[in-house]
Structure formats: C-alpha cells, structure tokens
Structure 1
Amino acid sequence: MRILSLNGWGGRLGEELVAYVSSTDPDLFCLQEATRTPAATSPWLVYRDGGGELLQRANLFGEVADALPGHQAFFCPAARGPLYDSDRTLRSEWGLATFVRRSLPIIGQLQDFIHGAFSADDFGEHPRSRNAHAVRLHDYVTGNAVLVAHLHGLRELDGKGDTPARDAQTARLVELIGRIRRKGDRLVVCGDFNVLPESRMLTELRSIGLTDLVTQGGFTDTRTSHYLKAPRFADYMLVSDNVDVRNFEVVGQPEVSDHRALLLEIG
C-alpha cells in the first residue's frame, strides 16, 4: 500500500501537482490546503490577506479527483471565505481532501475539528480553524486494518514553537484517533503539522506508540525551493510499530508545492 501526503499550497502549482499525483497513483492520497469553489468559471482565483495577494487554484479538489478516477474522493472543509476573480467575489471552501483507491474497503471514517469550528462566512482570524480526517481501511493483501489520519496543523503568526493552542490541538487529535482506532490497527498519522521536531506535539504522538519517519530517517528539509524561509521542517509522517515500512521518501523532485511530498510504502 502506497500512502502519499502533501500540502498542496492552495494549488499554486496545480497543473504540476495534478500531473505528479496522476503519475504516482498512490493507494491513499492525503492532501492539505485543498480548494473547492463551485461558482468559479476561471481556474485561478486570488486570495487577499493583509495587503498581499496569492494565486489559488479555484477547484484543486475536483482536478485531483478527475486525475484519480479509480479513487473515492472526500473533501473536508475547515472554512469558507472570499476569493477574487478580478472584482468578482466568490466564496471558496478550503481544507483537507482524502482520496482512497476504490479496491480498498473503508471500514471506518471520522472527521472532526481539532481547533475551532467550521467557519462558513470567512476564513477567520489566526490561528484559523483546523480539522483532521481519519480513514480505516481493510487491506485484503495482508488481512489487516490500516488507519490513516491526516491534518493541517495550526499556523501561528509568531512561528512554529509550542503554544497552548497547539497543545489543545494535539490533545484533540489524539482523542480523535482514539475514537476510531481498534486494537491491532496499523496506524499512520501524517500531514503538515506546522511544528518543529522537538515540539510537544511530536513528543505526545510518540507517547502513543508512534515513530516519526522524517526525523528518524535523517531528513532535514520538507520544503522545496519555492519556500525561502527557515526553519525547513513542517511535514511529518508517523507510524505505529506494527507498520511494515518498505520504503519512505521525502520527495525532492518534482517540486509541486512549497512543501515536499511524503511517500510511504507499507507491506
């Protein structure tokens, strides 16, 4: 089973991202910063915040779903706010997307907020609402259940250090996992955590029996050349000790976001 995790950067490199995902064809794709704008007629919209402007792909979720026709597609919005097509204002949903190969039966599924609640009319003040999505799958090849949870962690304006809000987010994530996890499940937790390797968040996840493949593998950079700041850690993939890790890669090329993709193969 091949599991891919990626922060899509709002689709800033949408065409490259879709081509990469299509060619990689993972069994399970966990996408953070997915967009969906039903009323859009242009493939590109503009996000405005604090006087700055950023291009956003209008319907990254739909484009990836079209590129993976053999997958079930799930969109989990955290918020809906304004994007702009010239002077036209459109309401766009933003959040997580999960794509599961149709041959893998989904035997459990849970989405919930780990910070805040759904914001229907605006993206909100920082730190903005965050959710997590977990899918429990039966692997016919091994006869085991695999539980994969992904999230896009809080973005704090003063950096990636520990904060009470991040501590609360971690507690809610662990509680969410506990609600759906069953004894013997092979567990994978991944996404853009927006924390540093020495964070209390990763310490807490290790306390429930998880090992981080990024830091354990000696990787020191989960960002691409499109990201010009330090520190270079953001994305993680953790596994329980009963996961048979066949291969793990922090993908350097191609660059399809300002984040590198994380690609895991398990037996």
Structure 2
Amino acid sequence: MCLNGWGGKLHEELLPYLSNEAPEILCLQEVIHSPTTEKDWLTYRDGDHVLPQRANLFRDVSQALQDHQAVFCPAAQGVLWDGDQSIPSQWGLATFVHRALPIIGQVQGFVHKDYSPVGYGDHPRSRSAHGVRVYDYAADRSVSVAHMHGLRDLNGKMDTPERAEQARKLLELSRQVSAPGDLNVICGDFNVEPDGETLAILAEAGFSELVTGRGFDSTRNSQYKKPGKFADYMLIDQEEAVRSFEVIYDPEISDHCPLVLRL
C-alpha cells in the first residue's frame, strides 16, 4: 500500500483502516515525528496555509501496525505550533514492513536537496526517499520497493528540471536497493501529472504505471478541493506479476487515496 497520510488530519479514520488492512508493506508519505512532545495535535503554519497535524503520526501508525518493522526517513526539522509555543518537529516519510517478510536490503536518501536541520526551508523543499528489499517466501523471490514524496512547486505540477532530476534519483535509489532478478516496485506521491516527464523517465527504464494504465481517473477524493486529480502513482517492472491493483476511494482516510497492489 502507498499513501500520503496528510499529516494524520483524518487520524480517527486512518488508524483503524491501517490496522484492519495491515498491508505487508506500507509506504507512507507526509509523516510527522515530534519526539519532544506528548501532545496529540499541533498546527502547521506557512503563511495562509494552516493545517492541523498529528504530532506523532509515526508513533501512532507504528502502534497500529505492531507486527511491522517501522523506519522513519526525515526530510527536515522545523517547528509546529501548540498555541504560541513552537515545537520542534520532523517531517518526512516512513516504511512499515510486516515481520514475516525479512528485510534483506534498504537504502535511504534524498531526491531533492538534502536534510534541512533548522527549518522546513523555502519551496521547493527537501524531499527524502526510501527503498527496501524483502524476501517473499510464498513466491520464492526478492521484491524491492522504493518510494518518495515528490517536491511541491508553488507554480503547479508542470515539468521542471528539478522534477526530472528527482525522478532519476528515485530510479537510482531503486537500482541501489535491488539485485538482478528482483521484482521492482516504485511508488509515492509524485506531485506530477500523468503525462509528465517523471513517468516518462520511469517508463523508459522499464516500469509500467498502474494508475492510469489500469483506467483510474483520479488518486484524490472529496477531501481534496483543488483542481487536478492525480498525485500518486504505483509502477512495476514486471506487470505480469500483478494479481490486482486498486485505488481506494472509500473510506476516505486522507485527501489522497491509498494505492493497493497485490502480487
């Protein structure tokens, strides 16, 4: 499963869903980790953009998926707000792998900029990525999965040199964690349109894109009020290995839809 968790804004819907579904591998973007506070909720402020944030979403999801190994990959540390008090808070993505799947390799890195230790920074901000390689005993094969949260450009989701570069870096990270003969999956909230350069770069490398490729017309739901209905993608380099692929519109657990791939 691949999902942008929206900072845990729909926490009451999100955690029961994840606990019930318990995907063997969960690639989760927009994850908050605030280790110095026990507060449940804080506020993100960026000009007119004000958003409630689940202060320790990484902890919350880890508790919901207690049979999983959890890895948090921060992109930056800035501040969230408890009223007028600023709270140090790390922002990034996380990967959760069921303990029945041995992790035999992993790689963590950046697809845009580097770790920002003193503030989230100016847009487009630092973006991290993570890849895991697991052994699937049921299918007698290794599977490598890499994901990122693509950079947000205030001007929109159009092609830019920075987005092309992050696609190449994500592809390189996928290649670093995998080995010849692996089944390879790349996913994430890419923040690009389906006809853009990012997916073309991945297609040229042999990956098939499953969202539009399987006829889904959106990866957003009614929580998302802006134009443009695509952000999230799932790609695989051996499409014959796909047993099923779904974009989940109900229940709504974020303003992004979960992408669920069964091999």
Interval of TM-score (by shorter of Structure 1 and Structure 2): over 0.9
1:39 Cα offset (Å)? 1.6
8 A Cα contact 1:7 1:259, kept in partner? yes
* Stretches (4+) displaced over 3 A: none
Distance in 2, matches of 1:243 and 1:67, equals: 32
Corresponding residue number in structure 2 for 1:96: 93
Deviation at 1:51, TM superposition (A): 3.3
Question: In the alignment, does 2:115 pair up with 1:135?
Answer: no
Distance 1:184 1:49, change over 3 A: same
Which of the numbers 205, 209, 213 marks the counterpart of 2:210?
Answer: 213
Report the 3-state secondary structure (helix = DSSP H, G, I; strand = E; otherwise coil) of the residue aligned with 1:219: coil
CA distance in 2: counterparts of 1:8 and 1:243, whole angstroms:
29
DSSP 3-state at the match of 1:229: coil
Aligned partner letter, 1:120:
P
CA distance in 2 between counterparts of 1:51 and 1:5 reads 29
Question: Helix, strand or coil for the counterpart of 2:101?
Answer: coil
Q: Which runs of 5+ in 1 are unaligned?
A: none
* 1:107 equivalent in structure 2: 104
Contact 1:154–1:166 under 8 Å retained in 2: yes
1:187 counterpart letter in structure 2 = N
Aligned pairs for 1:183-194 (under 5 A) are 183-194=180-191
CA distance in 2, matches of 1:257, 1:237: 17
Pairing partner for 1:38 from 35, 38, 59: 35
2:6 matched to which residue of 1?
A: 9
**Could you tell me whether the CA contact under 8 Å between 2:42 and 2:53 is conserved in 1?**
yes
Q: Deviations over 1:13-71 (max 9, x none)?
A: 11211111001111000100000101222211000101332100000110000011100
Question: Does the 8 A contact of 1:186 with 1:243 survive in 2?
Answer: no
Counterpart of 1:116? 113
Shift in Å, 1:180:
2.1
- Is 1:186–1:242's contact at 8 Å kept on the other side of the alignment? no
Residue identity opposite 1:56 in structure 2: Q
Matches within 5 A, 1:32-181: 32-181=29-178
Distance 1:51 1:204 in 2: 35
Confirm whether residue 238 of structure 1 aligns to residue 240 of structure 2.
no
Task: Please give the per-residue CA displacement for 1:165-223, whole angstroms capped at 9, x wherever unaligned.
Answer: 10111121122222222111101111100000111110010111110110111111101
Q: What percent identity do the matched residue pairs reach? A: 52
Tell me if structure 1 keeps the 8 A contact 2:208–2:239: no
Following superposition of structure 1 onto structure 2, how do residues 198-209 of structure 1 map, counting pairs within 5 Å? 198-209=195-206
Amino acid at match of 1:79: A
What residue ranges of structure 2 are gaps of 5+ in the alignment? none
1:83-127 Cα offsets, whole Å, 9 max, x none, are 001111101011011000001011110000110000111000000
1:242 Cα offset (Å): 5.7
Quote the Cα distance in structure 1 between the aligned partners of 2:173 and 2:240: 20
Q: Measure, in 2, the Cα distance between the counterparts of 1:186 and 1:92.
A: 35
CA contact (8 A) 1:32 1:191 kept: yes
TM-score by length of structure 1 reads: 0.97
1:243 is displaced (CA, Å) by 5.3
TM-score between both structures, scaled by the size of structure 2: 0.98
Cα separation, 2, equivalents of 1:31 and 1:180: 18
Q: Following the alignment from structure 1 to structure 2, what is the Cα–Cα distance between the partners of residues 69 and 228?
A: 34
